[in-house]
Amino acid sequence: MRFACDTGGTFTDLVVEDADGTWQLFKAATTADDPVRGVLDALRLAADAYGLSLAALLARGDVFVHATTHAINAVITARTARTALLTTQGHPDILLLREGGRPDPFDFRIAYPPPYIPRSLTFEIDERIDADGSVYRALDEASVIATCRELAAVKIEAVAVCLLWSVLNPVHELRVGELLARHLPGVPVTLSHLLSPTPREFRRASATAIDASLKPLMGAYLGSLTERLGQAGFAGRVLVVTSQGGVMDAAEVAAAPIHVVNSGPSMAPVAGRAYVELEGGGDVVVADTGGTTFDVSVVRDGRIPLARELWIGAPIIGHLTGFPSVDVRSVGAGGGSLARVDDGGVLHVGPDSAGAKPGPACYGRGGTVATLTDAALLLGYLDPAFFLGGTMKLDVEAAQRAMHAIAAPLGVTSDEAAAAIVELATETMTQAIVDITVKQGIDPADAILIGGGGAAGLNIVFIARRLGCKRLIIPGTGATLSAAGALISDLSADRRATRHMSTSHFDRDGANAVLERLEDECRVFAEGPGQGAIATTYSYSVEARYADQAWEIEVTLPGARFTADGDVAAFRRAFDAEHERLYAFADPASAIEIVGWRVGVACRLREPKPGTLRERVRGGAPRDRTIRLPDNRVVMAKVCAFESLPVGVLQNGPAVVESAFTSVAIDEARFRRSEAGSLVIEL
């Protein structure tokens, strides 16, 4: 038995895979004060469904995969550990000076944020490695020991060490690490050359600072998760979803928590790709609507694009992790997005959310402000007696009271206000999709739209219409899309190194030596944590640029080594093609400079194919009801149970298709159930 759990802002999603490959879905409320409790609550629901005790259910499990927003939430809310930064003497302002630039170069009202680690907690170390890797000034160990005493005096909880040119010669960073371990025992330390071997100082220092600051928190969280799962009866392997769309062992994540900053959203495109392949393939836009955010990603030619750098907060003025991540764009629009009318009489929806507690007004938990979910309830898209399969009754009167507070200042009826909320949320979500697709050369009208997340069905058809999409797919596991992706993801890792090289005087032996060393390190991973995988694949890429360019791009190498005379020319063609794809031009006459080298390894733990979904059959025939569309047309909609739709039979809307975890409002579009079990909507 395998478990995959995704802790979101409102609900904790769980997918359980039986020994025969059958999947079941469960949802429990997220407990923000103790996320592990929400995980255990979801597991208890599963145990009840299987007719087992929690201990008996967990005893059958061999793998538990967890996706969490715990790390990124800690950074955003400044709940990380009290962290010190150790830098080379004379260079204490790396985090303050950053890399320059502004989102709008002419808007000086936007202030730069304070450095991630304040100057008061930045300490200079007497040493210097030169740009060629030689020791320019020897490490003064006495000064390091004195700094340790200062760190203890100010009650430092974690230490980030980022010394100049440590990526070429780490001897000083390694010794500083040894001294910190001796004089500050138990205090977690991150060494920059081990975490992020890039020569760019700001992004290396930023990554090191973020990673170190998360170690106490994530170590305690993952330790608590593993311990409490064990106490409840689980004796299997605990894996955690990474920002790169793979999974890692919990212990490895605790040692480098920066890898899980964008954990949860990275799994939606993994699942989306799998479901579209079952329907024939094509370019994919994945829209994952949760209670708090709307996450958008794409799959192009079967490949999930990675953003070269992940920012926490706004790009350029936020905090830079310095690591690639699955390219996911998020906006503050979801089922729990709060509606309000400003002093000028203008309606707004989001980005603030009701969250899990108190939640939308209709949840009956004390919420008084109207949300997208309240609007959908009043428009007839939700059955108040069948929310979460009937386990949670929705309070229609509370939703009406909250909606009246929006309608009154607008001078409209509550139903008209609800329709306006849905329409405004639809526009916000549509623009998020346009932003990520057009910038990557994808026409959303030619792509297949995947609707995921429990709140997707509230307006995903209307979003598809705005985009001009011809086909929309909502998988049977759509309400738990990220958890489903986690269940079929690969165990993965990558190893990186810095070595400057140019195609004008290419060092074939040096290049092959770097690739061989990194491949050996990946092989150790494959033979250790990846042991027993059904398939293991390696990938090889470099960070390169045209001579004298400021920034590099990542390019996949045509082969694992440079052995034949034509291999450098083949790399040259691959670089030119990728540069032209990204920037619409290439410069074949310029030499190419390679700065960074990367080898990745992916260990496939199971076939990347969704299991057969065991659906809960709704008791009694659903009753048709009137619904109001965002354009304020009132129509009679037939209500269909998701699990009862006949396979391959095309039906016409208006309709509402309900399952235990989602409700899909359909206008005049046609819809059918596919052989793969997905709801396919044709517009």
Instruction: Report the CATH number that the domain containing residue 501 is assigned in CATH.
Output: 3.30.1490
Question: What is d(CA 673, CA 643) in angstroms, rounded to the nearest whole number?
Answer: 9
Asked if residues 291 and 357 have their Cβ atoms less than 8 Å apart, the reply is: no
Q: Are residues 504 and 456 located together in one domain of the fold?
A: no
Q: Helix or strand or coil: residue 438?
A: helix
Tell whether the model's pLDDT for residue 621 goes beyond 70: no
Longest dimension (CA), the chain: 80
Within a domain: residue 158? yes
Q: Are residues 315 and 258 located together in one domain of the fold?
A: no
Strands 471-474, 448-452: pairing kind = parallel
Q: Are residues 499 and 592 located together in one domain of the fold?
A: yes
Segment holding 254, helix H or strand E: helix 250-255
Question: What is d(CA 280, CA 384) in angstroms, rounded to the nearest whole number?
Answer: 36
pLDDT at 571: 97
* Backbone φ, ψ for residue 39 (5° rounding): -65, -45
Please state, as a whole number, how many other Cβ atoms lie within 10 Å of the Cβ of residue 627.
21
Within a domain: residue 610? no
Tell whether the model's pLDDT for residue 602 goes beyond 70: yes
Tell whether the model's pLDDT for residue 617 goes beyond 70: no
| Side-chain-side CA neighbours of residue 639 (13 Å) | 18
Least confident of 28-37, 101-110, 141-150, 233-242: 101-110
pLDDT at 390: 85
Q: What is the mean pLDDT of residues 90-95?
A: 94
Q: What is the mean pLDDT of residues 370-381?
A: 95
Within a domain: residue 648? yes
Percent share of the chain, pLDDT over 90: 70
Q: Are residues 594 and 539 located together in one domain of the fold?
A: yes
- In sequence order, the 6+-apart residues with CB closer than 8 A to the CB of 70 are 7, 35, 217, 218, 221
Tell whether the model's pLDDT for residue 131 goes beyond 80: yes
Within a domain: residue 26? yes
Q: What is the mean pLDDT of residues 521-543?
A: 94
Q: Are residues 406 and 447 located together in one domain of the fold?
A: no
Tell whether the model's pLDDT for residue 421 goes beyond 90: yes
pLDDT at 618: 66
* Backbone φ, ψ for residue 231 (5° rounding): -65, -30
Q: Are residues 39 and 89 located together in one domain of the fold?
A: no
pLDDT at 334: 87
Question: What is the number of structural domains in the chain?
Answer: 6
Give me the residues paired with residue 544 across strands. 553, 594
Q: How confident is the model at residue 315 (pLDDT cuts 50, 70, 90)?
A: confident
Of the residues 422, 438, 458, the one at which a domain ends: 422
Within a domain: residue 203? no
pLDDT at 228: 96
pLDDT tens, 401-420?
999 999 999 999 999 999 99
Within a domain: residue 416? yes
Tell whether the model's pLDDT for residue 102 goes beyond 80: no
Within a domain: residue 229? yes
Q: Are residues 248 and 390 located together in one domain of the fold?
A: no
pLDDT at 9: 74
Question: What is d(CA 117, CA 205) in angstroms, rounded to the nearest whole number?
Answer: 10
Q: Are residues 391 and 482 located together in one domain of the fold?
A: no
Q: Are residues 91 and 147 located together in one domain of the fold?
A: yes
Give the structural domain span for 301.
265-331+425-487
More confident residue, 529 or 623: 529
Q: Are residues 49 and 156 located together in one domain of the fold?
A: no
Percent share of the chain, pLDDT over 70: 99
Please state, as a whole number, how many other Cβ atoms lie within 10 Å of the Cβ of residue 318.
16
Write the CATH number for 476: 3.30.420.40
Q: Are residues 594 and 648 located together in one domain of the fold?
A: no
Q: Are residues 405 and 434 located together in one domain of the fold?
A: no
pLDDT tens, 164-200?
999 999 999 999 999 999 999 999 999 999 999 988 8
User: What does pTM read for this prediction?
Assistant: 0.88
Of the residues 543, 577, 604, the one at which a domain ends: 604
Q: How confident is the model at residue 287 (pLDDT cuts 50, 70, 90)?
A: very high
Q: How confident is the model at residue 258 (pLDDT cuts 50, 70, 90)?
A: very high
HEC per residue, 34-91: CHHHHHHHHHHHHHHHHCCCHHHHHHCCCEEEEECCHHHHHHHCCCCCCEEEEEECCC
Is the Cα dihedral 551, 555, 559, 565 positive or negative?
negative
Taking each helix axis from N to C end, the angle separating 460-467 and 414-438, rounded to the nearest 10 degrees, works out to 50
Give me the residues paired with residue 596 across strands. 498, 543
HEC per residue, 269-336: HHHHHHHHHHCCCCCEEEEEECCCCEEEEEEECCECCEECCCEECCCCCCEECCCCEECCEEECCCCC
Within a domain: residue 399? yes
Please state, as a whole number, how many other Cβ atoms lie within 10 Å of the Cβ of residue 181.
12
Question: What is d(CA 337, CA 46) in angstroms, rounded to the nearest whole number?
Answer: 28
More confident residue, 651 or 620: 651
